[in-house]
Amino acid sequence: MNDSFDDRARQALFDSVHVPHGLEERLLAFLANQSDPANPSDQLHPSIRRERPHRQNRRRLVVASLVGLACVASVIGLVRFMLHQPMDQSAVVAELREVDAKLGPWKQMSEFTEQEQYPVPQPLRSHVHVSQWQAVTSGKLGAGVVFQVQGRGVAARLFAFNSAARRVVLVDSVPQQPNESNASGQTVSMGVWEAGDRVYGLAVDGGTAEYNRLVWIGVAAR
């Protein structure tokens, strides 16, 4: 027996009330009658439990958000992984060939104000003439500049990109042997290298002979 008045009073007030027989069934019948038959969520008995629609929706939204975040994270991770993969010589050559094929209108050198940032590298500086320029953008190398150059009767384009934009694994001077291509009916020999904080590419109109004439003959003579 409880030893306090409150406990005994609580017990007396609670236990002494007789709960009529069939109360639960009558309540359920009443609720079933009150349910809106046109509203399935208002039904009393279908599957015995009424999930909250907005909570279900919230749960679905959370799951969908998590899946979406996971996908975005995966894509970002993949892109970052690919960006951190260093580009080797063949990849840089392929990229510059694409850029070379899509060049726009040239501008006069008088309009170029960043000569100090983009000097013509050695050994070309001494004997090539830079006539025009234009800004270029590469998906893999970032923003850069291309110059139209000439020397020893050979025309070429000299590309320059910031090497900090992308890891590259290249030789540190003009390569001896160019990568020759004849994809569009015109032979273009391409050499790529890294010097200082720049990635350079030299696209020479012609084969290896023209490339060597532009780059090396004068140098060798010295």
Q: How far is the CB of 22 from other proteins (least distance, A)?
A: 11
Q: How far is the CB of 67 from other proteins (least distance, A)?
A: 22
Q: How far is the CB of 69 from other proteins (least distance, A)?
A: 24
The residue (of 6 and 111) whose beta carbon lies closer to other proteins is: 6
Please state, in angstroms and rounded to a whole number, the distance separating the CA atoms of residues 111 and 115.
Answer: 10
Alpha helices in the chain (DSSP H): 5-15, 23-34, 53-84, 89-101, 208-212, 218-221
Coil vs helix vs strand at 42: helix
Please state, in angstroms and rounded to a whole number, the distance separating the CA atoms of residues 199 and 220.
Answer: 24
Question: What amino acid occupies position 213?
Answer: R
The residue (of 52 and 167) whose beta carbon lies closer to other proteins is: 52
Q: Calculate the CA 143 to chain-centre distance.
A: 16
The residue (of 26 and 107) whose beta carbon lies closer to other proteins is: 26
The answer to whether the Cα torsion of 9, 15, 20, 23 is positive or negative is: positive
The residue (of 28 and 62) whose beta carbon lies closer to other proteins is: 28
The residue (of 48 and 220) whose beta carbon lies closer to other proteins is: 48
Q: How far is the CB of 21 from other proteins (least distance, A)?
A: 10
Q: How far is the CB of 66 from other proteins (least distance, A)?
A: 19
Query: Binding residues for other proteins, per CB under 8 A?
Result: 1, 3-6, 8-10, 12-14, 16-20, 23-24, 26-28, 30-31, 34-35, 42, 44-45, 48-52, 54-55
Evaluate whether 91 touches 99 at the Cβ level (below 8 Å): no
Please state, in angstroms and rounded to a whole number, the distance separating the CA atoms of residues 117 and 178.
Answer: 25
